[in-house]
Structure 1
C-alpha cells in the first residue's frame, strides 16, 4: 500500500531510548507515569492529525513535515534535533479498538523539539506550524520487523553542519538499541493506542484515531537517541543544517560522516534527512 504522509496521522514515542529524557531535561514530566518495566517508553504523543475533528486540538491539523527545512519558531530559543527511526504501519481495527499494527516502511526522522518546561502536553513542543518536523523522502521497505529482518542491521546517525564544519549531534546508535523494538514495540503501541488517557502531558490518542475514521495506516517516530555532549549543549541556530541518517551496518560511522560532510549519498539503502534551519 502506497501512502501520502499528508493523509496519515503521525505520532512520536517518548522515552524509548535510555537516557534521552534526562538529557533533554524532560524526565521530570514523566516522574508520575507508571510503567510495567523500568525502561519502558512513557507515552505516545500526536504530531499531526489530518482532518482533525472537534475532539483534536486545532494546531494538530497543520501539516508540520518538510524534508528540506525547519522553520525556527518566533520567540523560542532552545530548539534541538531529535534523531529517530520512523515507521509507516498498516493498521487493522476491530470496531473502535486497534487490533494490529504491521510496520511496512522505515526511514530517518527529525522529531524536532522545543525545550519548553511546563508545556501542558508533549505535542505543544512538537508541532508549532509548517516545517517543524522532518521525514526522509527515501523510506525503505521492511522485509520483517524482527531480529533477523533488514531493519535490525540499521544504525541511526545524526550530525549538525555549522559554519562549514560537521559535528556529531547524536550518539551513533543501532535501531535494535531501542528499549522497545520489534514485536514488543508493536504490542506496546497497540496497548497504548487503546488505553492511553488524557492525563498529565499525555493525550487520548486512540480517540483521535477513531474520530478521523480509524485509519488504515499511521506513522510513528519511535524515539530519539541520546545526544553527544555537543548535541546536548548546542541548540539550533539560523543557517545550521540538521542531518539524520539511517544506514546499514556495512558502513562505518566514519564513512557515513564523510558522506554527510560531502552531501553525497548514492546508496538507496541509506535513508537521509537533511534540513536547513531558517529563522521565521
Structure 2
C-alpha cells in the first residue's frame, strides 16, 4: 500500500458534508448533477516533498495532531483498490476495481487550511484500511450489492454507534457512474478553492497503474456529531455482507470482543486506538 497513490471523494453520501462543516467550501462549485460529489482530494502521494508524502496509514492506531486544539473525527468509508489504464496521451481511460475494504478517512475539523487535503494527512497514523475483499464485477448485481458499512466508537468503556449503518448502494455515485466521475476528475480537475489539480501528481509519478480511492463517508449519528476523538477512544469501521451478518451481530462481535480474536468471512474492518 505504501507505493499506491491515495485519493478521496468529497461529498458522495447525502448529508455528510453539512455535518462535517465542509459544505461552505464548495458553495460556488457547479456540477452537472445535483447530487454529484464535489471533488477528489489527495491524502497520500508517495515521495511528495510535503505533508502528502507522509505515509499516513496505520491500521492499529490514530495519532492525533500535535496541536491539542485541533478536533478530529473519524470518517467511515469504503475504499477501492484499482488498476489504472491510460491512452497514448497519458489520459486515464479506465479504472478497474479489484478489491474493496473498510476505510477510515479521519479528518481535522477546525484547521484553517487552504486545501482540504491539509485536514486529511495530519499525522503518520491518520488513516486506516481494512482487509481486502475481492470484487467479482463492479456493476449492479455484483458482490458489493450485498455489503453494508457500519462504524462504532468506544468511549469510557461504552460502545456507541458512530455513523449510519448504510448499504453501499446508498452512495450517490457508485459502480460505473463513480468510476467515470473519478476518471474525469483525475484528467480534468483544476486547482481551485479547497481542491488541487490532480494531473501533476500523476505526471510526477510517471502515471502509476495502481491507486486507492476512498469513496466517501457515511453520515454521522448524533453521538458522533458531538464527540471529537480523544486519547483512549477506540474506533471501528466494518464493511460486512448483510446477507450473512445482521447489524446486531456486528455489534455483538464488539461487545463480546471477538471481532479481532476470531476469523470472519465476508468482512473487512479497521480497529484503531486513538493516541
In the superposition, the TM-score normalised over structure 2's length comes to 0.95
Matched, 1:213 2:206: yes
Structure 1 Cα separation of the partners of residues 9 and 106 of structure 2 = 13
Do residues 263 (structure 1) and 260 (structure 2) align? no
Note the aligned Cα RMSD (angstroms).
1.1
| SS, match of residue 164 in structure 2 | strand
- Where does residue 32 of structure 1 map in the other structure? 28
Matching residue of 1:23: 19
1:105, CA displacement in angstroms? 0.2
The corresponding residue for 2:50 is 58
Task: Tell me the distance in 2 between the aligned counterparts of 1:263 and 1:144.
Answer: 33
2:138 to 128, 139, 145: 145
Separation in 1 of the partners of 2:184 and 2:83? 16
* Cα shift readout 1:150-206 (whole Å, capped 9, x = no counterpart): 011100000001222100000000111000000000000000110000111010112
Moved more, 248-257 or 179-188: 248-257
**What does residue range 180-191 of structure 1 map to in structure 2 within 5 Å?**
180-191=173-184
Q: How does 1:13-162 map to 2 (within 5 A)?
A: 13-52=9-48, 58-75=50-67, 76-94=69-87, 95-116=89-110, 118-136=112-130, 138-162=131-155
Structure 2 unmatched ranges of 5 or more? none
Offset at residue 117 of structure 1 (A): 5.3
Q: Tell me how far 1:48 sits from its aligned partner.
A: 0.5
Q: CA deviation digits over 1:107-161, x for unaligned, max 9?
A: 000000000254210100000130111111x110000101111011100000001
Gaps of 5+ in 1: none
Quick one: which of 172, 177, 181 aligns to 2:170?
177
Distance of 1:243 and 1:235 partners within structure 2: 15
Give the TM-score, by structure 1 length: 0.94
Per-residue Cα deviation, 1:4-25 (whole angstroms, up to 9, x for no partner): x100000100000010000111
